[in-house]
Structure 1
Amino acid sequence: MRLRFMGKLALVFSACLPFVAGTAYAEGAVLSTKSGNAASSAVVLSTESVRKNFAERFPGVDITDVKPTPFPGLFEVQIGMDLLYTDAKVDYILQGALVDAKNRKDLTAERLEKLAQVSFSDLPLELAVKQVKGNGARKMAIFEDPNCGYCKRLHETMKDIDNTTIYSFLFPILSPDSEVKARNVWCAKDQAATWRAWMLDGTTPPQATCETPVETVLALGKKLRVQGTPAIIFADGSRVNGALPLDALQKKLDSLN
């Protein structure tokens, strides 16, 4: 169970899970594979009512969105980038994958993929360090911390990738030193060369001072719910969290042509 986004729900879940496993589900009181008159005659509450009920049950938990699901009487509650499911009265909470058994689809995975998408054209690319390789036809943006080991691994992988424009958003979240390095890279005469030298060769960026967009980028990352580095956004709006291996990265970029 991912509790880092659910702090105020953690105690509730831990208290409720034994009851759910031992009583409600065992007796079939909550979910059933059969449909009946009770389901068809259930009162359908609006998503706003669900939002209100949820807020009353869990005060202080920020609800991003509430949507109905294909399952009658079951609602999706989005908290950050996590999804929960609840009944109309918020008497029960479920966390896990909602699967369309008939069509063999993981509806939760599909929703999470959609939530992760970003409009590439809306990204403020002028706030990123730009590197152009070959003809630069394929585009990708990466949120990176200067001291992120996985980001450096990704740069090693990208050495073998051609015809790509890479926009690196300096996203210093790991340490105060990350902020210093981000500033020195941004204020360098040749941002791309300085960034590349640090990420690939370990050459410390020379001391430099100027106005930087770091705070704006941090706010952007928060808005896009970037929770770690590297976070890769491709031109089609899809997102990958983490360093992709060469074959997977090449396949993804090739699919964008």
Structure 2
Amino acid sequence: MFLQINQLAKHYQKGQTLITALDDVSLNVDQGEFIALTGPSGSGKTTLLNIIGGLDVQDSGSVLIGGQPQIRGNDRESSAWRAQNVGFVFQFSNLLPFLTAAQNVELPLLLTSLSTKERASRVSAALELVGLAERAGHKPAELSGGQEQRVAIARAFVSAPKLMLCDEPTGDLDRKSAQSILELLNTLKSEFNKTIIMVTHDMEAAAATDRQVVLDKGKLRLAGQPLPDGTFKAAGVR
């Protein structure tokens, strides 16, 4: 089992009210599996994604990636761990507007010991993979929304992470661009054996994955394949 999430709990204090974001969440994900994490707004999906990726800390429970816990430490240690193990893709590309596509993709590699030549080679290969080699010198303002998201995926992929976490990666795109992004993610899964967890409200996007998991009020409720009416049939959560 590649990813093991065991009895995660997370709470936030809002004034005098204690809000439960995650309540005893456990989930196992295989290497090379593409999971859709769905559910109502405020159900804890992004919180779970951030804890898996080491951007947030749970109150209790554990997360093991490849049998190893996330590294907790100073900012540089945790950032280096994320750069090597986790690639993040968000709804908005979050590209730095004053950098070219190639420079944006290179950012995670600046935390590694790779030489300038090695970094350039990886950046070139990543942009080639997402079909944007000819746009390496373009800045985000010169790219379409779909192209920006492809650059963001190249940035997430360039350091060869074991796990990719995608938070609404198609949420700001038209259907054609969204479909191309989903095809690209499935290519990363099938050709590079990447494990991908994608938060989405889009049932068409969810249907493009191997398995769907539903969070509701901080609890895992259902998992399985979507029915034709967009609802989910019950299935065991591994």
Task: Give the TM-score category using the shorter length.
Answer: under 0.3
- The structure where strand makes up a greater share of residues is 2
With CA pairs under 8 Å and 6+ residues apart, which has the higher RCO, 1 or 2?
2
Normalised TM-score (structure 1): 0.23
